Structure formats: structure tokens, C-alpha cells
Amino acid sequence: MESDELNRFAAGLDSIYACKDSYEAALLSAGSVCEATETVVKGKTTNAVAIVCPPGHHAEAHCCKGFCFYNNVAVAAMKARRELGVKKVMIVDWDVHHGNGTQHIFENDPSVLYVSLHRYDHGTFYPNSNEANFNAVGKERGAGYNVNIAWNKSRMGDSEYLAAFHQVILPIAYEFCPNLVIISAGFDAAEGDPLGGCKITPAGYAHMIHLLMGLAQGKVVVALEGGYNLTAISRSMAACTAALLGDPIPVLNPVRPSKSALQSINDTARVHAQYWKSLSWRGNLEFIASSPAPTRATPTLDAATPRTPNAGGRDSSSEGGSPALPEEAQCSSDAAAAASSSEGQSGVAVPFVVPPAVCASMGLNEGEEALSMFAVSPKRDCPHLASISSLPEEGVDVRAACATCSTTKENWTCLHCYQVLCGWYTNEHMVAHNAETGGVHKVVLSFADLSVWCYGCESYLESPLLRKILSAAHLNKFGTS
């Protein structure tokens, strides 16, 4: 396809950019995850990491979406099931965005357990769908095998994620007893990511990896998904890889999870207690909180997710039983005893309405629609681009040191004065430069990934006005324009 055709193709999709090499890159990305999975399943290695791009978990079976062309992890899971003889696969998705594509692909399939921890923010966080809420549990035979832990606030970190692991994810995982674990490892929930708004540390990711290595005889595949800070991605993935290699897990300081996180965990546990015996304690997580649980009205299970009568469907002889699986795929006699026929329907998703309190916090009038408030698409109409300076004759040196502290880690250049300074993830000298100029020098270029950020718009930018500068930076960094 020519450039104009590719642009028209991408314009009709949600957050997709396409160039002449996108197809090949997407094939390589999906193929690499499949290769890593096959290597682990065949016992050539105990575990594997696939550092790939483009990511995949937003891609639907019928269309590209959210920077994703093929659903890499879903393709690998299907290959494991259909070609490699794996009976049960668990997918854990800790990208800060909900993996809508993965959920839809497997929502009817009881052989794949999909677990996602993500920001939901009452439906206002990308991909802005109520199907990312806790009451989307799967459909028909797959009811109970889709587990959404939907955060409704930002700043979730190690304590919140590990609480979710210990209270919901691991109990379900051990009851399900997978033969393979694949992780959709987006690192946009990492501390330092400019878009995710969360604060998982590299040590936190290492702990989550360590916990998952107790499943499936340690057969774990980690596939890179999203992330918008190369330093945070690198440190987080390095910690995950070290954990897979058996390095000691860093010690974490005990911090009490937030009340909002406990509410989200309780919601997921309560709605899944009808499917998993291990969650029969549902509703008793308040003891972790430092003060009584919020007294606001919370929808009951029946109100939030109406159940379908058992006529011709699920056997209700054992309350809270786990979903049925083929006999040969069950983990133990206990799981076999708890299993039942699984012909029910999933809960009906609640239509999304922005609650009044959320409207107030977002500066909206009650009932006003939140229009893609947290979209990750770059801004194309930044008014501050008009004040950037022309490219200097000497071009851009992406290996230049910070003019203030001489570091070469995570440096940026100001596109107004072309001074090189380090980012906030190191010594924050570029942030200070923005403040020292009275906020006039707003637009900066990252040497790490050649992205352009505007402090005034608080957004990444994309514009024809940047092409000459980006081309020069790319030439300096990679030897090609």
C-alpha cells in the first residue's frame, strides 16, 4: 500500500499508525511470542521473555486497535492449545490498559483463564468500555474464566497489585491449575510512566513474576505490551528477567493498600465467588483497611451481574463451585469434585454512566460525556509548536550529556533553545528548565525514544512541523533518516 492508502487505513481505526513496514513488524512481533512459547512448552527452556513491538492485547479478532495489529499473546495461547498440546493456559495482563482484544477472543473459552489488572476509572480510562469492569466474567462456557480487577483511581502501586495477587489471582490460578502462563507485560503502570499514572516499582514486578512462577511448573512466557518511558520499561523488564533467572527477589517495604483498591478487589472476588470455591471468603477483605470500609451503597452481586436460571445450565449443587473443565484437564480430585457443567451466561454489564462524584473530579457537568479523557494518541494540534526554533546547522546529538549534571541517562533537548538536559526520572533538570523559563520552553525531544513531549499540553506530540527535527535525530541515532 502507498503512504496515502496506509494513512486512510489507519485513520479509520482506533489509535493506529501504519507505515510500509508495519505488516512485517507485526508478523515478527506475533511470531516471536509464538516462538518463545513453543520453546517453553517443548522444554527447551523453563521460561522466556519476548521483547517485541508492536504490542497486541488491544487487537481484536477482526480489527487492529490501540497500537496493536495482531494479538500476540492470544495467537501464542491458541498455538499452545491447538498445536502444542497444552490443555489450560493462564494469561495475566498487567498493562495499565484493559486488554479488550484478549478478553473478547477467549470470553467463551474455559481452557484459557484471562486475568487483567488495569485502570478503569469508572469507564473513563482507555479503551473506555464497561466490558473492562469487574462484572465482565466471560460468556456461556467461559463464564468465570475472565477476571477483571478494575482500578478506579490512579497511583496504584506494589501493595495494591500484590494484594490483588494474594486475595484473588493466586487462589483462582491454583484452582484452575494452568499448564502454561503467558504474561501480557505492559509497563505503563510502572513508576515514572507519564501516561499510566501508577507506581509499580521494578521490585514489584519481580514479586509478581516470582508468584506466577509457582504455577505450571514454572513455564512462564513474558511478552512486552505497552509502556511510554523507556527507562521505566527497561528497569521493569530487567527485574522480571532477573526473577525468571532465579535471582533473589528484592525486599519491599510493607505499605497498606488504598481503600479504593480494596473495593476493586472485593468487587472482583464477590462476583467470581459463584465460580471459584477458593473465593468463598468474599466480602471479608475489610480487615486489611486502616479504617472501616466506605459506607456508600455498593451494588450487590445480583444487582450488578444478574444470573441466568440453571434450567438446562450450571449445576448449583455446590455453592461457589469452580467452572467445569474436561475431566482430563482438571488439576486435582478437589477441582474435579468442585467442577460442574458450565452452560450459564455471564453477568450483564452495567451501562456506563459517569457518576456525579466522578464528574466533579473531572470538571464535567453531571451527565456530560467523558470524551477519551485518557487516550494515548499523540496530540496533533499543539499550539506551542509555533514557538519552537529551527533545527541548528549542527543538527541533534542524541549522545550529548546533560548540560547541568553531565549524565547521559534519559536526556532530552529543548526544541526552543536546543539545550540538552536530563528528564525527571533522573535529576529533573529539563523539568527545572521549563520552570526557569516561566513555562515558555515547553516542547522537548527525548533522546531515548525520539518522542516529543509538551509540558504545556502534558501530551506527546505528532506534527509535520517536527519531521525535519525527528529525521535529523533519527539519522544521528541510527544512521538512517
Sign of CA dihedral 131, 136, 142, 145: positive
The residue behind cell 507505515 is: 19
Sheet holding 411-414, edge to edge: 420-422, 411-414, 443-446, 452-454, 459-460
Task: Work out the number of other CB atoms within 10 angstroms of the CB of residue 4.
Answer: 8
Q: Is 58 a catalytic residue?
A: yes
Half-sphere exposure at residue 418, Cβ-oriented, CA atoms within 13 angstroms = 12
For 157, 427, 430, the CA distances from 257, given in Å and listed in that order, are 8, 29, 33
For 272, which DSSP code? H
Please tell me the distance from the alpha carbon of residue 418 to that of residue 410, in angstroms, as a whole number: 15
The residue behind cell 498445536 is: 83
The residue behind cell 438446562 is: 312
Instruction: Give the three-state DSSP class for 119.
Output: strand
Task: Kindly give the residue spans of alpha helices, DSSP state H, lying in 308-404.
Answer: 333-338, 356-362
- Peptide linkage before 309 cis (omega within 30 of 0): no
C-alpha 140, offset from chain centre? 26
Q: Which one is catalytic: 58, 118, 207, 416?
A: 58
> Annotated active-site positions, please?
58
